[in-house]
Amino acid sequence: MTTAPAIDLRIFTALAPVRGDLLDVYADVRAPLLHLPNYAVTAFGERLDRHATEPGFTAVLAYAGGHPVGYAYGNTIEHGDRYWQRTSPAPARKYTERPAVALKEIGVRPAWRKTGTARRIHDALLAARDEPFVTLMVNPAAGDGKVRALYESWGYEDIGQSQPSPASPVLTVMIRAIR
């Protein structure tokens, strides 16, 4: 990992001020996959709009020189949430009995990868959360398994699988304590 140049981390609880920046960074982050229906910018925009209406929505964007270079966003999920219902096998009750944070997306522009920027964004998103756990879904094939391994190095562990939509690949569901 190289040292990250100076970035400005900004936290948002409303989507409108940053929707364009999120779509812009997403398109760069997922450029090789945009031809696939689940990864198309329009599909991401629809998911983003839905997620922004859910309880506890928070987004963190990293800016360098006034330009967005990375993001993460998530929201609160409760026992019985469709997130947990789609996870197989059913997660242990200790994870679902209290609200948790679902990290829905995290991405950093290619030029900013391996600089620590993703971890700084991730940690800023979780810093003010009261939930005991954070969960995410990752495509096990992403980066030939390197993305999943990165999350493991951040303390996440596998708890199951999920396929959020018919167009989505089968994803690995991971979780870790926030503190």
171 contacts 156 by C-beta, under 8 angstroms = no
The pTM (predicted TM-score) of the whole model is: 0.92
User: 116-128: per-residue pLDDT in tens?
Assistant: 999 999 999 999 8
Q: Tell me the C-alpha to C-alpha distance, in Å, between residue 150 and each of 134, 142, 143, 163, 176.
A: 15, 11, 10, 21, 13
By residue count, the chain amounts to 179
User: 68-109: per-residue pLDDT in tens?
Assistant: 999 999 999 999 999 999 999 999 999 999 999 999 999 999
CA distance 172 to 167: 15
